[in-house]
Amino acid sequence: MSEKANRRMGNQESENGVIESLQAAADTRLPASGIRHPTSGVQHRLRVLLAHGSGGELSHELIQDVFVRAFANPLLNEMADSAILDELPEGRVALTTDSYVVQPLFFPGGDIGELAVCGTVNDLAVMGARPLYLTAGFILEEGLPIEDLERIVVSMATTAREAGVRIVTGDTKVVGRGAADGLFINTAGVGVIPPGLELGPQRLQPGDALLVNGTVGDHGLAVMIQREGLTFRSSLESDTAPLNALIEALLTGLPTQVHWMRDATRGGLATVLNEWAEAAGVGIELIEAQIPVREEVRAACEFLGLDPLYAANEGKVVIAVEGASTDRALAILREHPLGRDAAAIGTVTAAHRGRVTLETPYGARRIIQMLAGAQLPRIC
Protein backbone atom coordinates (compact mmCIF):
# COMPACT_ATOMS: atom_id res chain seq x y z
CA MET A 1 0.00 0.00 0.00
CA SER A 2 1.35 3.47 -0.92
CA GLU A 3 2.21 6.06 1.72
CA LYS A 4 -0.55 8.24 0.24
CA ALA A 5 -3.06 5.43 0.83
CA ASN A 6 -1.82 4.94 4.39
CA ARG A 7 -2.22 8.65 5.15
CA ARG A 8 -5.71 8.65 3.64
CA MET A 9 -6.79 5.69 5.78
CA GLY A 10 -5.34 7.30 8.89
CA ASN A 11 -7.30 10.49 8.28
CA GLN A 12 -10.58 8.84 7.28
CA GLU A 13 -12.14 8.76 10.76
CA SER A 14 -11.38 12.43 11.33
CA GLU A 15 -12.66 13.41 7.89
CA ASN A 16 -15.87 11.41 8.35
CA GLY A 17 -16.49 13.26 11.60
CA VAL A 18 -16.24 16.62 9.88
CA ILE A 19 -18.57 15.48 7.08
CA GLU A 20 -21.14 14.24 9.60
CA SER A 21 -20.93 17.57 11.40
CA LEU A 22 -21.56 19.46 8.16
CA GLN A 23 -24.52 17.25 7.36
CA ALA A 24 -25.97 17.71 10.83
CA ALA A 25 -25.73 21.47 10.45
CA ALA A 26 -27.62 21.35 7.18
CA ASP A 27 -30.29 19.04 8.58
CA THR A 28 -31.05 21.22 11.60
CA ARG A 29 -31.58 24.44 9.65
CA LEU A 30 -33.67 25.57 6.72
CA PRO A 31 -31.40 28.20 5.12
CA ALA A 32 -32.77 30.49 2.47
CA SER A 33 -30.13 29.15 0.06
CA GLY A 34 -31.96 25.83 -0.07
CA ILE A 35 -29.01 23.74 1.14
CA ARG A 36 -31.69 21.75 2.93
CA HIS A 37 -34.68 20.99 0.74
CA PRO A 38 -37.78 22.58 2.34
CA THR A 39 -40.12 19.73 1.47
CA SER A 40 -38.03 16.56 1.48
CA GLY A 41 -36.40 17.14 4.88
CA VAL A 42 -33.04 15.83 3.63
CA GLN A 43 -29.85 17.60 2.68
CA HIS A 44 -30.13 18.94 -0.86
CA ARG A 45 -26.88 19.82 -2.62
CA LEU A 46 -27.17 23.02 -4.65
CA ARG A 47 -24.67 25.42 -6.16
CA VAL A 48 -22.95 28.61 -5.14
CA LEU A 49 -24.98 31.71 -5.99
CA LEU A 50 -23.76 35.26 -6.51
CA ALA A 51 -25.82 36.08 -3.42
CA HIS A 52 -23.49 33.89 -1.37
CA GLY A 53 -20.93 36.67 -1.78
CA SER A 54 -23.26 39.52 -0.92
CA GLY A 55 -22.33 39.75 2.75
CA GLY A 56 -25.92 39.07 3.77
CA GLU A 57 -27.87 36.09 5.06
CA LEU A 58 -26.67 33.63 2.43
CA SER A 59 -23.05 34.63 3.02
CA HIS A 60 -23.49 34.11 6.74
CA GLU A 61 -25.04 30.67 6.23
CA LEU A 62 -22.28 29.57 3.87
CA ILE A 63 -19.51 30.75 6.19
CA GLN A 64 -21.04 29.23 9.31
CA ASP A 65 -22.30 25.95 7.86
CA VAL A 66 -19.27 25.15 5.70
CA PHE A 67 -16.13 27.05 6.71
CA VAL A 68 -16.46 27.75 10.42
CA ARG A 69 -17.88 24.33 11.21
CA ALA A 70 -14.97 22.58 9.45
CA PHE A 71 -12.16 24.89 10.60
CA ALA A 72 -13.50 25.59 14.12
CA ASN A 73 -10.93 26.69 16.71
CA PRO A 74 -10.95 29.39 19.41
CA LEU A 75 -9.16 31.99 17.28
CA LEU A 76 -11.39 31.55 14.25
CA ASN A 77 -14.57 31.31 16.32
CA GLU A 78 -14.14 34.93 17.41
CA MET A 79 -15.18 35.88 13.84
CA ALA A 80 -13.40 39.23 14.15
CA ASP A 81 -11.81 41.21 11.32
CA SER A 82 -8.41 39.85 12.31
CA ALA A 83 -7.17 36.83 14.23
CA ILE A 84 -5.27 37.82 17.37
CA LEU A 85 -2.54 35.19 17.57
CA ASP A 86 -1.52 33.44 20.74
CA GLU A 87 1.87 34.32 22.15
CA LEU A 88 4.40 32.93 19.69
CA PRO A 89 7.30 30.67 20.70
CA GLU A 90 10.76 32.17 20.93
CA GLY A 91 12.45 32.69 17.56
CA ARG A 92 12.12 34.54 14.28
CA VAL A 93 8.70 34.75 12.62
CA ALA A 94 8.40 33.28 9.12
CA LEU A 95 5.55 34.46 6.85
CA THR A 96 4.60 33.05 3.46
CA THR A 97 1.68 33.30 1.03
CA ASP A 98 0.56 31.33 -2.01
CA SER A 99 -2.36 31.00 -4.40
CA TYR A 100 -3.81 27.81 -5.87
CA VAL A 101 -5.50 27.54 -9.26
CA VAL A 102 -4.96 23.84 -10.04
CA GLN A 103 -7.25 22.29 -12.61
CA PRO A 104 -8.97 19.89 -12.09
CA LEU A 105 -10.02 20.64 -8.51
CA PHE A 106 -9.87 16.91 -7.66
CA PHE A 107 -7.06 14.73 -8.95
CA PRO A 108 -5.62 11.30 -8.07
CA GLY A 109 -4.19 11.53 -4.57
CA GLY A 110 -5.51 14.94 -3.62
CA ASP A 111 -7.50 18.08 -4.30
CA ILE A 112 -7.03 21.84 -4.31
CA GLY A 113 -7.83 22.10 -0.58
CA GLU A 114 -5.23 19.59 0.57
CA LEU A 115 -2.77 21.15 -1.86
CA ALA A 116 -3.32 24.64 -0.43
CA VAL A 117 -2.58 23.55 3.14
CA CYS A 118 0.41 21.36 2.23
CA GLY A 119 1.96 23.95 -0.06
CA THR A 120 1.91 26.67 2.58
CA VAL A 121 2.99 24.39 5.43
CA ASN A 122 5.91 23.14 3.33
CA ASP A 123 7.04 26.64 2.37
CA LEU A 124 7.41 27.40 6.07
CA ALA A 125 8.97 24.06 6.99
CA VAL A 126 11.79 24.23 4.44
CA MET A 127 12.88 27.51 6.01
CA GLY A 128 13.26 25.67 9.30
CA ALA A 129 10.08 27.19 10.73
CA ARG A 130 7.49 25.35 12.78
CA PRO A 131 4.17 26.08 10.97
CA LEU A 132 1.50 27.39 13.36
CA TYR A 133 -1.26 29.38 11.66
CA LEU A 134 -2.86 29.66 8.22
CA THR A 135 -5.26 32.04 6.55
CA ALA A 136 -7.58 30.91 3.75
CA GLY A 137 -9.17 33.10 1.07
CA PHE A 138 -11.67 31.58 -1.37
CA ILE A 139 -12.71 32.89 -4.79
CA LEU A 140 -15.83 30.89 -5.67
CA GLU A 141 -17.36 30.76 -9.12
CA GLU A 142 -21.11 31.05 -9.40
CA GLY A 143 -22.47 27.56 -10.03
CA LEU A 144 -19.81 25.65 -8.08
CA PRO A 145 -21.56 22.66 -6.46
CA ILE A 146 -21.76 23.20 -2.71
CA GLU A 147 -21.01 19.51 -2.28
CA ASP A 148 -17.66 20.03 -4.04
CA LEU A 149 -16.91 23.03 -1.85
CA GLU A 150 -17.66 21.01 1.29
CA ARG A 151 -15.35 18.21 0.16
CA ILE A 152 -12.53 20.68 -0.42
CA VAL A 153 -13.05 22.44 2.91
CA VAL A 154 -13.16 19.11 4.78
CA SER A 155 -9.94 18.10 3.03
CA MET A 156 -8.29 21.35 4.14
CA ALA A 157 -9.45 20.86 7.73
CA THR A 158 -8.22 17.27 7.84
CA THR A 159 -4.82 18.18 6.36
CA ALA A 160 -4.40 21.14 8.72
CA ARG A 161 -4.97 18.86 11.70
CA GLU A 162 -2.47 16.36 10.33
CA ALA A 163 0.10 19.15 9.97
CA GLY A 164 -0.64 20.57 13.42
CA VAL A 165 -1.70 24.01 12.19
CA ARG A 166 -4.85 26.08 12.68
CA ILE A 167 -6.74 28.05 10.04
CA VAL A 168 -7.53 31.21 12.00
CA THR A 169 -8.97 33.73 9.55
CA GLY A 170 -10.19 33.90 5.98
CA ASP A 171 -12.33 35.51 3.33
CA THR A 172 -14.86 34.43 0.70
CA LYS A 173 -15.78 36.12 -2.56
CA VAL A 174 -18.08 34.97 -5.37
CA VAL A 175 -17.56 35.85 -9.04
CA GLY A 176 -19.75 35.24 -12.06
CA ARG A 177 -19.81 32.13 -14.19
CA GLY A 178 -16.66 31.64 -16.24
CA ALA A 179 -14.55 33.96 -14.07
CA ALA A 180 -12.82 31.50 -11.72
CA ASP A 181 -12.77 27.95 -13.11
CA GLY A 182 -14.77 26.74 -10.13
CA LEU A 183 -12.57 27.76 -7.23
CA PHE A 184 -9.32 29.56 -6.44
CA ILE A 185 -7.71 29.53 -2.98
CA ASN A 186 -5.17 31.89 -1.44
CA THR A 187 -3.39 31.02 1.78
CA ALA A 188 -0.86 32.68 4.05
CA GLY A 189 1.11 30.93 6.75
CA VAL A 190 2.89 31.97 9.93
CA GLY A 191 5.61 29.93 11.61
CA VAL A 192 8.55 30.38 13.95
CA ILE A 193 12.20 29.55 13.28
CA PRO A 194 13.88 28.39 16.51
CA PRO A 195 16.87 30.37 17.81
CA GLY A 196 20.23 29.37 16.39
CA LEU A 197 18.94 27.74 13.19
CA GLU A 198 20.40 29.21 10.00
CA LEU A 199 19.48 27.96 6.53
CA GLY A 200 20.08 29.67 3.21
CA PRO A 201 22.17 29.94 0.03
CA GLN A 202 25.07 31.48 1.96
CA ARG A 203 25.56 28.13 3.70
CA LEU A 204 25.96 26.06 0.53
CA GLN A 205 29.57 24.95 0.08
CA PRO A 206 31.54 22.57 -2.14
CA GLY A 207 31.30 19.02 -0.84
CA ASP A 208 27.71 19.34 0.37
CA ALA A 209 25.52 16.37 -0.52
CA LEU A 210 22.16 16.89 -2.22
CA LEU A 211 19.29 14.72 -1.03
CA VAL A 212 15.64 14.27 -1.96
CA ASN A 213 13.09 12.48 0.22
CA GLY A 214 11.51 10.39 -2.53
CA THR A 215 10.43 9.99 -6.14
CA VAL A 216 10.12 13.11 -8.28
CA GLY A 217 7.48 14.14 -10.81
CA ASP A 218 4.49 12.34 -9.27
CA HIS A 219 2.25 15.37 -8.77
CA GLY A 220 2.77 16.98 -12.14
CA LEU A 221 2.09 13.81 -14.09
CA ALA A 222 -0.91 12.78 -11.94
CA VAL A 223 -2.58 16.15 -12.53
CA MET A 224 -1.79 16.23 -16.24
CA ILE A 225 -3.05 12.70 -16.87
CA GLN A 226 -6.31 13.49 -15.06
CA ARG A 227 -6.78 16.84 -16.76
CA GLU A 228 -6.13 15.59 -20.28
CA GLY A 229 -8.19 12.42 -19.84
CA LEU A 230 -5.24 10.18 -20.67
CA THR A 231 -5.37 6.48 -19.85
CA PHE A 232 -2.32 4.70 -18.48
CA ARG A 233 -2.13 1.35 -16.74
CA SER A 234 -0.91 2.75 -13.44
CA SER A 235 -2.10 3.92 -10.05
CA LEU A 236 -0.09 7.14 -10.24
CA GLU A 237 -1.12 9.65 -7.56
CA SER A 238 -0.03 13.10 -6.50
CA ASP A 239 2.55 13.14 -3.71
CA THR A 240 0.79 16.01 -1.91
CA ALA A 241 1.75 15.84 1.77
CA PRO A 242 2.73 18.10 4.70
CA LEU A 243 6.48 17.73 5.21
CA ASN A 244 6.90 19.59 8.49
CA ALA A 245 7.18 16.49 10.71
CA LEU A 246 9.78 14.92 8.40
CA ILE A 247 11.80 18.14 8.27
CA GLU A 248 11.56 18.68 12.03
CA ALA A 249 13.00 15.20 12.60
CA LEU A 250 15.90 15.95 10.28
CA LEU A 251 16.68 19.31 11.87
CA THR A 252 16.44 17.82 15.36
CA GLY A 253 18.98 15.15 14.45
CA LEU A 254 21.27 17.41 12.39
CA PRO A 255 20.64 21.01 13.51
CA THR A 256 23.85 22.50 12.10
CA GLN A 257 24.68 20.06 9.31
CA VAL A 258 21.63 20.89 7.15
CA HIS A 259 22.53 23.94 5.05
CA TRP A 260 19.51 24.64 2.84
CA MET A 261 16.16 23.16 1.80
CA ARG A 262 13.47 23.80 -0.80
CA ASP A 263 10.26 22.06 -1.80
CA ALA A 264 10.48 21.26 -5.51
CA THR A 265 7.08 22.44 -6.72
CA ARG A 266 6.60 24.31 -10.02
CA GLY A 267 9.57 23.75 -12.31
CA GLY A 268 10.56 20.62 -10.43
CA LEU A 269 13.93 19.48 -9.18
CA ALA A 270 15.88 20.98 -12.08
CA THR A 271 14.55 24.50 -11.54
CA VAL A 272 15.18 24.48 -7.78
CA LEU A 273 18.79 23.41 -8.25
CA ASN A 274 19.39 26.02 -10.95
CA GLU A 275 18.11 28.67 -8.55
CA TRP A 276 20.48 27.34 -5.89
CA ALA A 277 23.50 27.38 -8.21
CA GLU A 278 22.76 30.96 -9.26
CA ALA A 279 21.97 32.29 -5.77
CA ALA A 280 24.99 30.69 -4.06
CA GLY A 281 27.47 30.98 -6.91
CA VAL A 282 28.29 27.26 -6.85
CA GLY A 283 28.16 24.40 -9.30
CA ILE A 284 25.86 21.42 -8.87
CA GLU A 285 26.51 17.92 -10.19
CA LEU A 286 23.69 15.37 -10.35
CA ILE A 287 23.86 11.63 -11.02
CA GLU A 288 20.87 10.58 -13.10
CA ALA A 289 20.92 6.95 -11.94
CA GLN A 290 20.52 8.04 -8.32
CA ILE A 291 17.48 10.30 -8.83
CA PRO A 292 14.38 8.30 -7.79
CA VAL A 293 11.65 8.32 -10.47
CA ARG A 294 8.70 5.93 -10.54
CA GLU A 295 8.63 3.72 -13.62
CA GLU A 296 5.12 4.90 -14.49
CA VAL A 297 6.26 8.54 -14.31
CA ARG A 298 9.27 7.78 -16.46
CA ALA A 299 7.11 5.94 -19.01
CA ALA A 300 4.49 8.70 -19.11
CA CYS A 301 7.17 11.35 -19.56
CA GLU A 302 8.74 9.42 -22.43
CA PHE A 303 5.35 9.02 -24.10
CA LEU A 304 4.46 12.72 -23.66
CA GLY A 305 7.91 14.11 -24.43
CA LEU A 306 8.43 15.50 -20.92
CA ASP A 307 11.36 15.45 -18.51
CA PRO A 308 10.57 14.27 -14.94
CA LEU A 309 13.26 16.61 -13.58
CA TYR A 310 11.01 19.54 -14.51
CA ALA A 311 7.73 17.98 -13.37
CA ALA A 312 6.13 19.45 -10.24
CA ASN A 313 6.12 17.85 -6.80
CA GLU A 314 4.01 18.69 -3.75
CA GLY A 315 5.55 16.36 -1.18
CA LYS A 316 9.25 16.48 -1.98
CA VAL A 317 12.02 18.44 -0.27
CA VAL A 318 15.50 18.99 -1.72
CA ILE A 319 18.14 19.16 1.00
CA ALA A 320 21.77 20.29 1.07
CA VAL A 321 23.67 18.68 3.95
CA GLU A 322 27.36 18.61 4.75
CA GLY A 323 28.94 15.66 2.98
CA ALA A 324 30.14 13.90 6.13
CA SER A 325 26.54 13.73 7.41
CA THR A 326 25.01 12.17 4.28
CA ASP A 327 24.45 8.69 5.71
CA ARG A 328 23.01 10.01 8.96
CA ALA A 329 20.65 12.35 7.11
CA LEU A 330 19.41 9.55 4.86
CA ALA A 331 18.86 7.30 7.89
CA ILE A 332 16.73 9.97 9.60
CA LEU A 333 14.68 10.60 6.46
CA ARG A 334 14.09 6.90 5.83
CA GLU A 335 12.71 6.41 9.33
CA HIS A 336 9.74 8.61 8.36
CA PRO A 337 7.03 7.30 5.98
CA LEU A 338 7.45 10.35 3.72
CA GLY A 339 11.20 9.73 3.44
CA ARG A 340 11.46 5.99 2.97
CA ASP A 341 12.64 6.44 -0.66
CA ALA A 342 15.14 9.18 0.21
CA ALA A 343 18.27 9.27 -1.94
CA ALA A 344 21.53 11.17 -2.36
CA ILE A 345 21.35 12.56 -5.90
CA GLY A 346 24.42 14.77 -6.30
CA THR A 347 26.89 17.21 -4.80
CA VAL A 348 27.78 20.88 -4.63
CA THR A 349 31.05 21.74 -6.40
CA ALA A 350 33.34 24.72 -6.94
CA ALA A 351 33.47 23.90 -10.66
CA HIS A 352 31.19 25.45 -13.34
CA ARG A 353 29.69 27.96 -10.90
CA GLY A 354 26.09 28.87 -11.60
CA ARG A 355 25.45 25.71 -13.62
CA VAL A 356 23.82 22.35 -12.98
CA THR A 357 25.15 19.29 -14.77
CA LEU A 358 23.80 15.74 -14.98
CA GLU A 359 25.90 12.58 -15.35
CA THR A 360 23.94 10.12 -17.49
CA PRO A 361 24.00 6.34 -17.03
CA TYR A 362 26.44 6.23 -19.98
CA GLY A 363 28.98 8.48 -18.26
CA ALA A 364 28.27 11.54 -20.39
CA ARG A 365 27.43 14.92 -18.87
CA ARG A 366 24.80 17.40 -19.96
CA ILE A 367 23.78 20.81 -18.70
CA ILE A 368 20.42 21.04 -16.91
CA GLN A 369 18.97 24.48 -17.57
CA MET A 370 16.22 26.45 -15.90
CA LEU A 371 12.73 25.53 -17.10
CA ALA A 372 11.76 27.66 -20.09
CA GLY A 373 8.05 28.06 -20.79
CA ALA A 374 5.27 26.05 -19.15
CA GLN A 375 5.85 22.30 -19.34
CA LEU A 376 2.83 21.55 -17.11
CA PRO A 377 0.68 24.65 -16.54
CA ARG A 378 -1.72 25.02 -13.60
CA ILE A 379 -0.50 22.14 -11.49
CA CYS A 380 -0.83 24.00 -8.18
CB environment 106-120: b (16+ within 10 A), e (fewer): bbbbbbbbbbbbbbb
Q: Quick one: pLDDT at residue 42?
A: 21
What CATH superfamily classification does 70-193 receive? PurM-like, N-terminal domain (3.30.1330.10)
The pLDDT of residue 86 is 81
287 pLDDT tier (thresholds 50, 70, 90): very high
On whether the CB atoms of residues 352 and 368 are closer than 8 A, the answer is no
In angstroms, what is the C-alpha Rg of the chain?
22
Q: In whole angstroms, give the CA distance from residue 309 to residue 96.
A: 25
Among 313, 134, 340, 188, smallest CA distance to 249 is for 340
| Mean pLDDT across 127-150 | 98
Q: Please give the pLDDT value at position 36.
A: 37
**Helix/strand/coil (H, E, C) string of the chain?**
CCHHHHHHHHHHHHHHHHHHHHHHHHHCCCCCCCCECCCCCCECCCECCHHHHCCCHHHHHHHHHHHHHHHCCHHHHCCCCCCCCCCCCCCEEEEEEEEECCCCCEECCEEHHHHHHHHHHHHHHCCCCEEEEEEEEEEEECCCEHHHHHHHHHHHHHHHHHHCCEEEEEEEEEECCCCCCCEEEEEEEEEEECCCCCCCHHHCCCCCEEEECCCCCHHHHHHHHHHHCCCCCCCCCCCCCCCHHHHHHHHHHCCCCEEEEEECCCCHHHHHHHHHHHHHCCEEEEEHHHCCCCHHHHHHHHHHCCCHHHCCCCCCEEEEECHHHHHHHHHHHHCCHHHCCCEEEEEEECCCCCCEEEECCCCCEEEECCCCCCCCCCCC
User: What does the alpha-carbon distance between residue 224 and residue 155 come to, in Å, rounded to a whole number?
Assistant: 21
Q: What is the pLDDT of residue 3?
A: 60
Please determine whether the domains at 70-193 and 201-368 fall in the same fold group of CATH. no
- Give the residue among 300, 307, 299, 314 at the shortest CA–CA distance from 366: 307
Residue range 201-368 forms a domain whose CATH class is alpha beta
Q: Lowest mean pLDDT: which of 39-48, 264-273, 301-310?
A: 39-48
Average confidence score pLDDT of the chain: 90
User: Dmax of the chain from CA atoms?
Assistant: 75
The residue ranges of every structural domain in the chain are: 70-193, 201-368
Torsion of CA 378, 184, 159, 379, to 10 degrees: 0
When pLDDT is cut at 50, 70 and 90, the band that residue 43 belongs to is: very low
Nearest to 212 by CA among 321, 368, 319: 319
Condensed to tens digits (0 to 9), the pLDDT of residues 140-181 reads 999 999 999 999 999 999 999 999 999 999 999 999 999 999
